[in-house]
Structure formats: C-alpha cells, structure tokens
Chain A
C-alpha cells in the first residue's frame, strides 16, 4: 500500500525546513532504517530514515527545496511492484513540486536566508521523523550512561534502538559516531556526547574551512589615540543612571570595522553560486564564548549607531547570550564578524569565516611595543589584527585596502564619534 513520507520536524518549534538532498532515487528499494534524505535548518542537518520498507515511488519535493512545511508529503513509498498512485496516500492530489526560484528571487532571498522568520511559539502537530525510536529500556540506559541516542543506530524492529545497541555504543563510543576513527587511548577516556550546539559548530566550521577559500591579511595598528579617546569619552559618562556608559576597546573596534565596511563595502558581501550579494546594512556579528560553545550575537547597522548604543547593546546581547536567552534573529544573519581574543593576551590569530559572510576580523591583544616614529624608536600600544576573507568574492588587494582603511580609522579615531 502506498504511504506518504512526511517532512519531519527537527525541533518542536520548527514549521518548515530545507530538503537538502535525496539519498535514494525514485525506484530505489528502501528498507526500514535506511537514510533516504537530509533535512536542514539553520541549526542542524538531520537524516530522514525510512520507517517502512518498500520502493521510493515518487519524490514530491526535489532536493534543494527551501521552506518545505513540516508534515507535508515529500515522497510516496509503494510496495515492490505496486503502481505509484496519482494522489498522495493522505488523499491530496500530487501537487507540482515547488518551482525553483528565479535567479533574481534567489539572489534577493539569499541575504535573508540566514534571517529566519520570527520563530513561532505555536507547537507543531507532531514531529514524526524527528523522534528517536528507542525502547524504554534503551532510553533509560542511554540516559544513565550519557549516550546520545541520536548517534546510535537501531537494530531492533523497524530500526528501533534497543538495549544491545546502547550497550554497544557505550563500550565502543566511536563506533556510534558514524565512521569516525575509534580513539586509541591506553589510559582510557571519557566520552561526552556532543551537544547540539557543538554539532552545529562542527558542521558549519568544517563546511567553512573546507569549502571557503580563506586568505589572511594581518596588520599592526597603534591604539594610543583610540585609548586616549576612550578614556576621555568614558569620563564624560554620568556616574549612574540610564545614560551611563563604559566603552570598551571592543565597542570602538566594532564601530571602526563597521565604518571601514561602509567605506570599503567590498567586504560587506556574500558569495552565492550565482551571484555576489552586496549587503545594504552593516551588521556585525560578535563572537561570544559561552560555556558549551560560542554564539555570534549581532549589532545591526553598527555603522549608524553611536559608541554608546553599540556598547550598551553589546553588554545586553553578551549577557543574554551567556544566559542562553538570545532570540534566533539576534544571532542568525550578520554581514561580517569580529572575534576578539585580546583579553587573553594573544599576539595574533586567524579566525574561520562564518558563512555566508565573506570576512572575519581577528583581534589580538594591544600591547606596548617598540615602534619607529620618524627615525627614532618609540613606545606605542600596538595591536595585530588579522582579516580572514573569502577569496571567491574578495581579492587580496581589496582585503589589504580594507585593513588599511580600518587602521587609519583606529589610529585617527575621531571618525568614531562624528
């Protein structure tokens, strides 16, 4: 009997997602537990497993389709030899698959692609394939042993995870991690299941470092003028009250980078397969370290904001990021990133681009160094900053030009307050 394969929900709040690819083709035989497709949202990619066996009769939603509603039929599964029906098993006539968006529409949509619609709080009806099928005993043993069932392949009826699967995952942690080499550690080790954030970090950064051709431009900047301005401005803050502020060096560098992006907009871009996306706004993502990973809250239109606005907004975002209370739109999107490790005293480092952005600025510690002024040695507070840029859309000269613009703003910081 023909059955519909439905779009699964990856999380209780998910209402739609992208069907990124099909791993089975029409006419392929499918056994329960086979991975037939991959579904993607901003936060995760998940495999869709067949629950029943049969033949993949018809693919209703082609690979690469965005915005597929949860519980919408994505394919029809039929028995071997059975004719593929004209209607989905749920009775709906097979609709034309959503047409590919035109190149123009795609281009317009691309920058927004990272900005999800406000997450709906309405619970979705069900999450069929998002659910992990495991016996109660398997669930309990997994919980006690800290085994993440999402990484365990089920060997029970219809691919259900049973006790023996969890026991196997417990004793051979790497065996469950799908193909990764088993760690060899004569002294033993502790295996901690990956958090979903860690998985997203792993996936996105691997994707970035393996698919985005990075190049790096480093430059030294003298900070003395900026530090002087900072202390001058901070003295102007009221002692207390709503108008009080305390600018950090980072706040000023955010503004400086935003201004540099406005002056040299060639870095405020994204690469897509078909087009170069030039963003209208300068939205700076700030990398914030949080206990189980990192997150990048965004200062939107940072070039148009005052230092005080940037400073207060950053404090609020960082505090809520560490409390895990950011809304998706506060950390998804952004046109450029800044990662600051100056507080750790590092001399320099290079960062991995946060796709689909084309650049990230890595800021090291400002330290007193000997510099040559005129023909004499002098002492200055110097900071090494390193830009990582996507060579597909940013060429070396452009990267250098942007860095030199940034340095000129930092070293002549009056621009930050006009």
Chain B
C-alpha cells in the first residue's frame, strides 16, 4: 500500500489540479491527485483542446473551398467526418497521456476515483476516495485543493437528451454532420461550435439572449464578428428568446422570437451552450464552513475557502472559466501553501480567446467598461487591411483596438479580431501585466512583416496616429 499521508491532496486533475500537483512536487511537497475521469480535465478531454482540433479541420475545409484566391484548383474536396472527429479524440488522448507522464515523472501518485472531504484527523484533513473498482481508501493531508471544475448548465427543456439536444460533450463526438444546427448561446463555447459546424458545411443558426454575440467582448468586436459570421452564411439572432423545443421523430421545431418577429425554424440538432455550473456536489462540502454561491465555491484572492487548509481553484471557484486562469491559480495557491510570497490574480490581466473564424482575443477593459469605471480613455484602432502580412495571407478581415487611460497611459484593454489574434494577444497581456504604458509600446520594435505590426499601429493610433492607415 502506498502512502496515504500528504502535505497536499488535489481533488481534480484538470488544468488547475494537475498543474497544482506539478508545482507542489517542484516545491518538494508530498502531493497526490484524485481524478474521477480523465487527467487533463475538461480542457484536454472535452474542451479547449479537442475543439481546437476540430476547428483546425474546419479551417482547412474553408481553405479548400477558397483555393482559387491562391491560384489553386481542387475538384470537389471531401472529408471523412468520422476521421475528423477521430483525430480530435486522438489529440485529446495524446495530451491526457502526456499529463499522466508528467505526474509520473514528478512522482505524484494519482488516485482514479471520486474524492470527498470527510472531516479531520488531528491537524490533518481526511479525504475519502472511492476508487473506480468501488474500493474505498482514506487519504490525509495538511492542505486540500478543490479543483473539481464545472459542467454545462442544463436549462429546463434544453437538457441533453442523447438525441437532438447536445451539450459540448456530445457536440465533440457527433456521429454525423447535422444538416441544420441550432446553437443556443454565443459565448466562447457556442460560438466555436457554430463556427466549426458552419465551416464544415452545416446550416447554422446562432442565437443569443443578449443584444449581441460574444457579449463579454468589446461591442465593436461583437459587431465585426456578427458581420463575419453572416458573411459565412450563418444565421445570427440576438436579443432572442427560444421557445420550447418541439421534438418529432426526425427533427426539432422551435419558435425563436427576435427583433419583434417569431422565427419558426426546424433543426436536426440543438447545441445548448448557456453557461456552466460548478461541480460542488458529492465532494463533502456539506457541514463545512465552505460557502457555495451560485454553484461556485467562494474563495478569497488567495483561493482560500472558509475552511483553513482547504483551497478552491479553477472553474469550481468561479469566473472567468478559463484553463489558464485555473493553472495560474494553481501555481499561486501552491506557492502560497509552500510559504512563498504570491500575488493575487487580477482578472483584468487574464486574456480570453475564442477560436472561431475569425478568431477573437482580448484582455482587460472594453471601451464601455473602462468608461463605466470612470476612466477617460484614448482608443486606437487598426484594421488588418492596412497590414502587409495580412494581405499577403489573404486574411484582411480583422481589427485591433486598444483602450488606454488618457491620464496615465495605462493599457486598460486590448481587443482583437482576425487571423492569428489568439497567438498575438499575449503581447498586450505582457504589457498589461508589466504595467507598460503607451510610451514603451510605442518604442517597441515589432517585426516586419507580421500581423502583429497592427498591434503597434493600434497603439500609435490611440496617440499620434497610425502610420499605415
């Protein structure tokens, strides 16, 4: 029997949990991970990664239908949808295996099972683990990190039914390409699926209850995204109210009210992407001082819960529901447990990326939020049409927008739409994290020719004016 006493037990092996374990091992803490399903969590298995694999396929499909502009011709390009899906699963499997390898290399024991807090023993906490084979074992640890993640919210009437209604999980492993697809919710998840299926050839209707798609993004970006989606043939309904699904044996009929009209539409499949809920059940929170609000564990800025020695990180601890936020909290939380001086995370320095076509990436305040927060702002904009590399790539639909504090030159926010922006946003994140002002950004030499030059231009545009537009 291996040891059951640890400095730290991490419940959940997603991008929060496994990173916490790796960092703890680096800091010479004895640490174990308990994972109920797959190492890598939703991110690797049912989220970030497999969707990127699918979106890559849909981008290729788009390019294959747009070869003419590059001087190519291909007759009737086809794909095997099952192979597309299988590749996505293989990518996830490879990465999940990679996480297992990393934990093994770091000598972190992994318990496959469900864990729950079950009281204290002396100064240590007890964690009861129900292993996959039903056997139970009890671990003790000075510290516990809850990293149990979240799952799709199931609105009444929109619960996944194994046939017509999908959550992200079913949407990742379709048996065939639906001809007519309804996507409810235009956050990152809904928008990415809408983009994937549309670019693979489905007729897609994207509905959003708010007055614009991607409502957390800057308004200008939302507007450009909608225009781009509609240009691709997607039907977009905002300010929309979805009526009850009327399921027949082969299809789903639904009335959607939007813009003062009622659209009676028929679909083969419906994706419900209306938010997520934290996995706070069956982990032993009952009877503890750990507070749960709106399905998420309440924590302070250092991820501490109401119980000393118990921490919560990642999706279960609340928004923003992003893997990189979970990983960052993991490192901070473990370092704090190890007695290091740490810095709380500032949500306005966490970037958000949506990998639809065109890509969207942002960090910090939108223009509207900056104004609402009382800032006097300077805004810079630069469209990709002024960027040489974007034109050479055939990717001229894009915009970079910067929002500066007029008083201090602080980069309050940056908002990008277009090719490769998810790879570029980190530049602005560094600027924001390092508290650079417009002066340093202006003085930074950006390489030519790159699309990133438009980031420089968007800074210049907020001050002296862009050079190439």
Contact = CB atoms under 8 A, between A and B. Distances in A.
B435 A138 contact: yes
Contacts of A155: 343
A135 interface: yes
Contact of B408 (A144, A157, A162): A144
Interface stretch (B52-60, B177-185, B275-283, B436-444): B436-444
A137 B407 contact: no
A136 interface: yes
A31 B343 contact: no
A156 interface: yes
A235 interface: no
Given A31-B341, A155-B343, A157-B343, A135 B435 contact: yes
A138 B343 CA distance: 16
B409 interface: yes
A247 interface: no
Contacts of B287: none
A163 B436 CA distance: 10
Determine which residue in A141, A156, A157 has the highest number of CB atoms from chain B within 10 A of its CB, and name it.
A141
Q: How large is the interface on B (under 10, 10 to 19, 20 to 34, 35 or more residues)?
A: 10 to 19
A80 to B, nearest CB: 11
A382 B204 CA distance: 104
A325 interface: no
Determine which residue in A136, A138, A140 has the highest number of CB atoms from chain B within 10 A of its CB, and name it.
A136
Interface string B422-460: 000000000000111101100000000000000000000
B407 A144 contact: yes
Interface of B is mostly: loop
Given A144-B407, A144-B408, A137 B435 contact: yes
B343 A137 contact: no
Contact of B437 (A31, A136, A157, A162): A136
B437 A137 contact: yes
B332 to A, nearest CB: 13
Contacts of B439: 136
Contacts of B335: none
Determine which residue in A135, A138, A144, A163 has the highest number of CB atoms from chain B within 10 A of its CB, and name it.
A135
A140 B343 contact: no
Given A31-B341, A155-B343, A140 B409 contact: yes
B371 to A, nearest CB: 19
B410 interface: yes
Interface in A18-72: 31
B434 A140 contact: no
Interface in B315-361: 341, 343
Nearest to A145: B408
Determine which residue in A135, A137, A138 has the highest number of CB atoms from chain B within 10 A of its CB, and name it.
A137
A141 B439 CA distance: 13
A138 B409 CA distance: 11
Contacts of B440: 136
A144 B434 CA distance: 19
Contact of A135 (B341, B407, B436): B436
Nearest to A162: B435
B408 A137 contact: yes
Nearest to A134: B435
Given A144-B407, A144-B408, A163-B410, A136 B343 contact: no
A31 B341 CA distance: 9
Nearest to A164: B346
B400 to A, nearest CB: 21
B343 A141 contact: no
Contacts of B408: 137, 140-141, 144
3 A-B pairs with the lowest CB-CB distances in the bound complex, closest first: A135-B435, A137-B435, A136-B437
Given A31-B341, A137-B409, A137-B435, 18 more contacts: A135-B435, A135-B436, A136-B435, A136-B436, A136-B437, A136-B439, A137-B408, A137-B410, A140-B408, A140-B409, A140-B437, A141-B408, A144-B408, A156-B343, A157-B343, A162-B435, A163-B410, A163-B435
29 contacts: A31-B341, A135-B434, A135-B435, A135-B436, A136-B434, A136-B435, A136-B436, A136-B437, A136-B439, A136-B440, A137-B408, A137-B409, A137-B410, A137-B435, A137-B436, A137-B437, A138-B435, A140-B408, A140-B409, A140-B437, A141-B408, A144-B407, A144-B408, A155-B343, A156-B343, A157-B343, A162-B435, A163-B410, A163-B435
